[in-house]
Chain A
Amino acid sequence: MRKPHSKVLILCLVLAGPAVLSAAPLPIVSWDFLGGGDGVKWTQLVNDFNASQSAYQVTSTTLPWGVEFYTRVHTGVVAGETADVMTYHLSHFPTGIKMGDLRPISDAELKSVGLSYKDFNPTLVAYSQADSKAYGKDGVLYGVPLDTHTVVIYYNKDLLTKAGVLGMNGKPNGTAGIDTFTATLKKIKDATGALPITTSSGNDTGGPWRLWYTLFSQMGGTLVKNGKLDLSAMDTTGKKALQTFHDWASQGLINTDTDYGAAVALFTSGKAAFMINGNWEVPTMVDLAKNGKLGFDYGVMAFPKLFDKGASFADSHELAIPNNMKNPLSAEKLKGVLTFIAYVEKHADVWAGGGHLPAYLPVLNGKELAAMSPNNQYSVDAAKIVSFEPNTPVFGVGGTIYTAFTNFMTPALTGQISIDDAVSQFKNEVTKLSM
């Protein structure tokens, strides 16, 4: 009896042994919308996390950016088939929280992995908590902020030198105040024949909206009052901001009807002096310069103060947990998700390679970031002037506001319709869309 019995026992140990000694890592599914340079950094963070420990294995799937992503999340939540963790935009919180797509993440849960609400950029936390209060549970966060990303200005030092507008400090002269800046743009055009500003204004719906919103915010405009959509400023400040953009276009100081890729190519090929775009194009510039494929010296600056106050369009990438009511996260998986979030936050210097300003204060104020070029040229200034979209559901990345803007406001830049018509039709459309 004894002999065969012990054989069985040994067999069991052999079979079960590896599982007991080193349990197979718990799989964690992640959804993201990150392409281009962001996608590369994200993959690196996921791989680094998987290599850093053996308890969890994160697999991230990239889905289409914008409305499609958020529709997918919502249908997933309703069907009970979601990822365990996902990337999200701060500007989509009002809609996402209202529709019940997001699981709140408490301070206590963050503390279990060595993080706290207090560790993050207070502006972002306050903004996010205002969303929580208005559309969900007061006091909690529906996502952990990863970064702030904003509109910056890239400049071609060679062209600016040729036009005599590059200062000794390597930064452009004559950028403060709208009249001074416009004069500088004309000077560049006359002296070099290059396009003064390139910006995306074609098939990409976000570009013109972001630039207009930056100008509008600098003029003190707002589209929300007491937490409600209020378009009254459109008739005054809104028109003035569109007029500024239109005047640059009609004088040939900025391009119109240029698709995103073409707009970036105009700058990287040295045909434009400035590029107004998000900080997410930093990796493009860094890579081109590193490979010796950029034929000029470049710099990046925060959006200059042209009107009453400094402001530049901004949004924030967040790490959030889908609110899967049918199949809620097990305590074990939640721990894995939080561990992953903590890892990404503590290694946000990798993420900053995408040009973004990290939200996690120890990284934002850390040595690595201060030494990182070109981030150190704009990060400090840009962080002070970020202007987020209003906290109401009609706004939000890639959504209805983008479509309405492209549809009615962008045609006014080329004079297809008058500024008055554009603004009144835009107001009409946004009012309808917000119902």
Chain B
Amino acid sequence: MSHAVEITDVPADTRRSRKLRTGNPAVAIPLLAPFLVLFLAFIVYPTVRVIMLSFTDADIAGVGGWIGARNYARIVRDKDFWLALWHTVYFVLLTVVPNTLIGLLFAFLVVRMKRFRGLAQALFFLSYVLPVSVVTQIWLWVLEKNYGIINYIFTLNVSWFRTAVPAMPATAFVTVWWTVGFNVLMFVAGLTAIPREYYEAASLDGARGGFKLFRFITWPLLWPVTSLVLVLQLIAQWQIFNQVYLLTFGGPFNRTRVVLLYMYQQAFNQQHGGYGATISMALFLIILVTSIVQIRVLRVRAL
């Protein structure tokens, strides 16, 4: 995080050398070419193709005719799309803020440790390293209705992922469990970067109690990290697909069908490649707009 501050403070000699490089395209172009070729082939071209596809009635292999904006007219009136969007918003609400707060809480605990701090940090990060298929398989077993350990301990008989009410919260819980380690890491770095002297000075000036120190020193100084975590979280959680695909497949009665799963079902199960592309475009615009709004509102400094 501290890098963000340093960038504004580029040493004079670096600036001079940058000027030198920009002045010589014959050197610059060959140096940039490998990146540019890959960028054009794997980022720009697919993006352009998806935009073009969204104006066609193509099947999944991309073969189809131009139908103008008909897919966009359809998506506006498509109740299933709006329902999927609402399910995605619900998932975002269940994950973004809780994941940030829990990450912060764990980071406080880790920072206070005098011994085994590295070990604790590693343990929190462990789940984040696991592939999503392993994570979902673990929780499908833990929360299994007939033999799962949770139902056994609490003598419940809940089918967590196949009952309408708990299905989405359970999916959100698994997501938080899986990804919170990354937030812990960010917050630990942020907390360690706050100079000790501020706390000492505040104590000398008569600040008493942990809450006051947190409210007036930790929280404001940690804000660049917190806001960055929130933005990254929002972007990641809007794109929810894997966990739902592996845990519930959108059921029961479509209660956990999120936008990308709906896109998948349209494009890959029903061979509506064109409409699937339109759904992707809609989600792209939603993520773009909400991220810009969020960055403005939270005044994310690092971005």
Contacts from A to B (Cβ < 8 Å): 67, 71, 74-75, 77-79, 99, 202-203, 205, 255, 257-259, 262, 399-400, 403, 406-408, 410-411, 414, 416-417, 425, 432-433
Contact = CB atoms under 8 A, between A and B. Distances in A.
From B63, B140, B162, B254, name the one whose CB has the most chain A CB atoms within 10 angstroms. B162
B146 A255 contact: yes
A376 to B, nearest CB: 34
Given A99-B271, A255-B146, A403-B265, A416 B251 contact: no
Interface in B200-252: 249-252
A380 B162 CA distance: 38
A78 B63 contact: yes
A343 B13 CA distance: 76
B164 interface: yes
Contacts of A67: 268-269
B163 interface: yes
A79 B60 CA distance: 12
Nearest to B254: A407
A257 B146 contact: yes
A349 B111 CA distance: 67
Given A67-B269, A79-B61, A411-B253, A203 B140 contact: yes
B253 A259 contact: no
Interface of B: 59-63, 80, 140, 144-147, 159, 162-164, 249-254, 265, 268-271
B146 A433 contact: no
A425 B62 contact: no
Contact of B253 (A205, A258, A425): A425
A67 B270 CA distance: 10
From B140, B147, B252, B254, name the one whose CB has the most chain A CB atoms within 10 angstroms. B252
Contacts of B147: 262
Nearest to A266: B146
A407 to B, nearest CB: 5
B253 A417 contact: yes
Contacts of A432: 80
A264 to B, nearest CB: 14
Given A67-B268, A74-B60, A257 B145 contact: yes
B59 A99 contact: yes
A79 B253 CA distance: 36
Contact of B251 (A78, A258, A406): A406
Contacts of A77: 61
Given A399-B269, A411-B252, 17 more contacts: A67-B268, A74-B60, A74-B271, A78-B62, A78-B63, A257-B159, A262-B144, A262-B146, A400-B265, A400-B270, A403-B249, A406-B249, A407-B249, A414-B163, A416-B163, A416-B164, A432-B80
A408 B255 CA distance: 10
21 contacts: A71-B268, A75-B60, A78-B62, A78-B63, A99-B59, A257-B145, A257-B146, A257-B159, A257-B162, A259-B140, A259-B144, A400-B269, A403-B265, A406-B249, A406-B251, A410-B251, A411-B251, A411-B252, A416-B163, A432-B80, A433-B270
